[in-house]
Structure 1
Amino acid sequence: MEKGPNLQKDIQALILKWRTYRYAFTADIEKMYRFLWIADEQKSLQKIIWRNSPTDQLSEYALCTVTYGTKSAPWLAMRTLQQLATDHGHLYSEAANLLRHDFYVDDLISRNNCLETAKKLQIDLIKLLKCGGMNLRKWSSNATELLEQLTEDQISQTKFDFKQDDSMKTLGLGWNPKSDIFTFSWNLKPNSKKILTKRALLSEISQLYDPLGWFSRVTVKAKLIFQRVWTKKLAWDEALPKDIQDEWLKTKDQLEELRIVKISRWIGSIQNNIELLAFSDASEKAYSSVIYTRTINQHGQPVVSLLVAKTRVAPLAQKLSLPRLELSGALLLTQLVNKVTESLSGYNITVWAWCDSKVVLAWLQGKASKYEKYVENRVVKITQVIPASNWLYIESKRNPADCATRGLYPKQLVNTEGA
């Protein structure tokens, strides 16, 4: 089967944009794949053999709708939504724009600053999807006014869980519309074997999906544990050393602690101006970056919110000096800033960056061409996005990116002041 090009929207960009609007609403398309019919001449390509019991004769069936699990299903689904927006967009132009840009798989993740506009978009979206025979349901919103014009069976009473495209499973990241906060729940599947192997460890770590890096101080610890395993050169199904098993089990057992962490969805922006407060740091183990927003709310008060973070472990093959790792951290931060500014296009964004390495700050202030190529290339890339004049010094103990370079246990993260 042809897989088709990737039409799926980036979940990170969707959530970043979603957080800048006062009113948020979500919904999903009921049994989306079941409403997408396959062309008659291609139904024969989805034949199955079936019988209800071993004594029955085998019967041949052809699946008539897009079938979840087939290689082409994601592309067919997203392409159908785009075609629906094209065919009927002249009737509902704004709703068609949301259909193209605010859907993740079958979930609508949208927003608006005007309540009346949001109400109209809601009705138009329902009508637009009805043109394709689809039902938009399970509406949630932080504004009760958006739910008043719906029937009871169209409203969801539970929190909204974000999905992962390839598996359609929830990511452990949810949104409570009543309180307008993000909630978290990482339920790792129990190890089917008593012995923890490299294969089992990788499987469990891969379940720690954190699209915006809010728990990067914990996930980097998991990355560092697996890096230690890799240096042992163990076989995939060989038991891990006891000290590594104990460290991972301690981390895993404390994941429940993260349930008490709450992050506000709305960053408080009522103006078109957003300040990005960006921090980078590095240790011999890893380097990290974190970005906060500073906005002015409706009461004229400044609001600072955690926006996004990212970490990487230090490479093993190439041993880098600490200043070079710090420079790599600054470059990682620059790439993250670039992603955020692209996601928040339409806003007036000012970026201020902090680093606790005076060597890196000196490199950024100097003339790039006089440095060796490794430093020169990175200095040029960094200053193209964040000018040298916008880089400032901060002490390590005050740098919020500092603890993400070593990793924390979940309980330590919860108890860290300002985390």
Structure 2
Amino acid sequence: ASHVLLNNTYVDDIVGGGETPEDLITLKQQLIMLLEKGGFQLSKWSTNYPPLLEPDEQSLKQVTLCSGDTPTTKILGMKWDPATDTFSYEAAPPPTGLTKRLILSTIARLFDPLGYIAPVVFYAKCIMQRTWQHKVGWDEEVPQEIGNMWIQFIEQLPQLSTISIPRPFPKTDTSYQLICFSDASELGFCAAIYLRATNASGVSLTLVKAKTRLAPIKTLTIPRLELAGALLLAQLIKTLSQLQEDLNITDIYCFTDSMIALSWIKT
């Protein structure tokens, strides 16, 4: 339980799991007992293992178990459906208007810390950057070209709700590997990390985390942006140190298609 509290606590929410139902029950009991010593009472539970939600003599006095009326649970900007054990997104209707302030407000609502919808957020930020290039005031209506791009974007935004992402990582018969990529264009640069697993059904790659950055308004060369992408990738890998420890990952492979950036890194 201490490991979960130290590494899987987000503000006042604790996210954890187990390999077997017995592990879940043990973790639940340990969390209750450990937090009770500090005067903390757990008040909400959500799980894809329904028997865990059944009150027993110990938990009845200490935990208010969720009723299960709500099919999904909000977690880190996404929705988690315990029935299917998948993550999904809910795109709220954006405010009407074509001012820079409203565009920024809509982008701020796309909370995506793991980068599963990074291309969507990146495109929205590109539109926002154009408003800066045109020196548009906060409450001024954006130029028609930018306005048309934004209207097309928000019309397609509800399609995010169709995305379904499996929560568990696939099992592997060998050791896990991290396969990492970085790339760049004149608009910006990005990094993405995948978890590679092998089993009887074949090889699978699962997106673990991704990150994007806009290129500065001041023009930079593509090789310089490629190098920035490689740096972003190194920083992203560092954020997964706990995952590497938990899954005993020792093999990490990084790829970039820029020979110039590679030569700079080697020197």
TM-score by length of 1: 0.56
Counterpart CA distance in 1 for 2:5 and 2:231 is 35
Which residue is 1:221 aligned to? 123
Deviation at 1:296? 3.5
**Given the superposition, is the C-alpha separation of residues 247 and 330 from structure 1 closer, same or farther in structure 2, using an over 3 Å criterion?**
same
Q: Is 1:252 matched up with 2:154? A: yes
Q: Is 1:160 matched up with 2:73? A: yes
- The equivalent position to 1:183 in structure 2, one of 65, 88, 112, is 88
**Given the superposition, is the C-alpha separation of residues 220 and 351 from structure 1 closer, same or farther in structure 2, using an over 3 Å criterion?**
same
Matched residues, number: 259
Counting only pairs closer than 5 Å after superposition, residues 114-153 of structure 1 correspond to structure 2 as: 114-131=20-37, 134-148=40-54
Which residue is 1:352 aligned to? 253
Deviation at 1:203? 1.6
Counting only pairs closer than 5 Å after superposition, residues 43-192 of structure 1 correspond to structure 2 as: 95-131=1-37, 134-148=40-54, 154-157=65-68, 158-162=71-75, 171=77, 173-191=78-96
Counterpart CA distance in 2 for 1:109 and 1:271 is 26
Name the SS for the 1:324 alignment partner.
helix
Which residue is 2:176 aligned to? 274
Would the aligned equivalents of 1:291 and 1:309 in 2 still touch at CA under 8 Å? yes
Question: Is 326-335 or 98-107 further displaced after alignment?
Answer: 98-107
Counterpart CA distance in 2 for 1:359 and 1:156 is 58
Counterpart CA distance in 2 for 1:114 and 1:272 is 20
Deviation at 1:138? 3.5
Moved segments of 4+, more than 6 Å:
none
Q: Is 1:334 matched up with 2:234? A: yes
Which residue is 1:290 aligned to? 192
Name the SS for the 1:348 alignment partner.
coil
- Gaps of at least 5 residues in structure 2 are none
Counterpart CA distance in 2 for 1:113 and 1:273 is 17
Task: Kindly provide the CA deviation profile for residues 356-408 of structure 1, in whole angstroms up to 9, marking residues without a partner as x.
Answer: 223333444x5x1xxxxxxxxxxxxxxxxxxxxxxxxxxxxxxxxxxxxxxxx
Deviation at 1:294? 0.6
**Given the superposition, is the C-alpha separation of residues 356 and 156 from structure 1 closer, same or farther in structure 2, using an over 3 Å criterion?**
farther
Deviation at 1:301? 4.2
Counterpart CA distance in 2 for 1:340 and 1:124 is 26
Name the SS for the 2:225 alignment partner.
helix
**Given the superposition, is the C-alpha separation of residues 131 and 321 from structure 1 closer, same or farther in structure 2, using an over 3 Å criterion?**
closer
Would the aligned equivalents of 1:341 and 1:349 in 2 still touch at CA under 8 Å? no
Deviation at 1:135? 4.1
Q: Is 1:308 matched up with 2:221? A: no
Counterpart CA distance in 2 for 1:300 and 1:137 is 40
Deviation at 1:207? 1.2
Task: Kindly provide the CA deviation profile for residues 272-303 of structure 1, in whole angstroms up to 9, marking residues without a partner as x.
Answer: 83211111111111111111111245x57433
Task: Kindly provide the CA deviation profile for residues 314-345 of structure 1, in whole angstroms up to 9, marking residues without a partner as x.
Answer: 1113x211121112112211211121234432
Deviation at 1:134? 4.9
- Gaps of at least 5 residues in structure 1 are 1-94, 164-170, 369-419
Would the aligned equivalents of 1:188 and 1:207 in 2 still touch at CA under 8 Å? no
- RMSD between aligned residues: 2.6
Which residue is 1:234 aligned to? 136
TM-score by length of 2: 0.85
Counterpart CA distance in 2 for 1:232 and 1:363 is 35
Question: Is 235-244 or 346-355 further displaced after alignment?
Answer: 346-355
